Amino acid sequence: MGEVVRVAVNGATGRMGRVLVDLLRRDRRFDLVAAITAADAQEMGAPVAHGSQLRFTHDWAGVPTLDVVIDFSGPEGLQAALQHCLDSGAALVVGTTGVGDALEARLAQASRHLPLLRSANFSLGVAVLSRLLRQAAAALADWDLEILEAHHNRKEDAPSGTALLLGEAAAAGRGVALGEQVVFSREGRTGPREAGEIGFAVIRGGDIVGEHTAMLIGHGERLELAHRATDRGIFARGAIEAAHWLAGRPPGGYDLDAMLAERSGG
């Protein structure tokens, strides 16, 4: 998009929202016109930064005309952002994970009416990791696959959206559907591991930003593909690039791979 892009951040007082607001305020390609948060957020009505005219709000009805919304709010906030985008025609970039089946279906339906780009992980490293894992899972089709993830102690969903995204990539590499192979926790299970399972293990603690390891385990050897995030800026920058790329596009469901492929001329 050539002109300045009018953007709103939903979930603006959160861990991701704050990084997004900070980056967008300094990015001349964008005009940050709204910073939406929860109705009961402590910061409600306060300026988004020292000296800024823009204040945190929960009032979608008062939001000026927008080109794109970036959502990192959680499932409830995402529903409101989606409705606003459907009503106004603004594009929607979704970072929120842990979305239930009903909202998943609404998002799929909505992508027929507005430009909508989703990724469970906006980092470049995870985009490459998922491609590598798809290849490795195909090449080592009979090796056992386990996906481990670790996050901070405030994270609400488990396993992470990224772990599921990696599971989908591996399953696609093997030509199967993830749902048929998935084992979320081995607690209570008896007997040996079944061939073809894709296992998930979850760690929560402290301030871990986000760590994912896919283990392909054979006999006498193991391949590990891992990504460790140490700075939320990687996700925020990816989502901002996605918002710039998405604004003004025709309605449709887009993903990060489409943006990266187009940008690299592929």
Ligand X SMILES: NC(=O)C1=CN([C@@H]2O[C@H](COP(=O)(O)OP(=O)(O)OC[C@H]3O[C@@H](n4cnc5c(N)ncnc54)[C@H](OP(=O)(O)O)[C@@H]3O)[C@@H](O)[C@H]2O)C=CC1
Locus of tokens 């929120």: 96
47 strand-pairing partners: 55
Q: What is the maximal distance between C-alpha atoms in the chain?
A: 62
Q: Which of 151, 212, 227, 244 is catalytic?
A: 151
Instruction: Assess whether 219 carries a catalytic annotation.
Output: no
Q: Find the helix packing angle between 161-173 and 124-139, rounded to 10°.
A: 40
SS (H, E, C) 65-87: CCCEEEECCCHHHHHHHHHHHHH
Site for ligand X in 41-100 (CB under 6 A): 41, 72-74, 76-77, 80, 95-98
The verdict on 16 binding ligand X (CB under 6 A) reads yes
The verdict on 96 binding ligand LZUJQKHR (CB under 6 A) reads no
Are the C-beta atoms of 10 and 70 separated by less than 8 Å? yes
Q: How many CA atoms does the CB half-sphere of 69 hold within 13 Å? A: 33
In 3D space, the residue among 257, 253, 263 whose CA is nearest the CA of residue 92 turns out to be 253
Question: What is the 8-class DSSP label of residue 256?
Answer: H
The verdict on 199 binding ligand X (CB under 6 A) reads no
Q: Which does 181 bind (CB under 5 to 8 A by kind): ligand X, ligand LZUJQKHR, none?
A: none
The verdict on 161 binding ligand LZUJQKHR (CB under 6 A) reads yes
Binding residues for ligand X, rule CB under 6 A, total: 28
Are the C-beta atoms of 17 and 35 separated by less than 8 Å? yes
Residue 41 or 240: which CB sits closer to ligand X?
Answer: 41
What single letter denotes the amino acid at residue 215? M
Could you tell me which stretch among 138-146, 154-162, 216-224, 246-254 binds ligand LZUJQKHR (CB under 6 A)?
154-162
Q: What residues are designated binding site for (S)-2,3,4,5-tetrahydrodipicolinate?
A: 152, 161-162
List active site positions. 151, 155
Point out the annotated binding site for NAD(+): 11-16, 95-97, 119-122
Q: Which residues bind ligand X (CB under 6 A)?
A: 10-11, 13-17, 36-38, 41, 72-74, 76-77, 80, 95-98, 119-122, 157, 161, 235
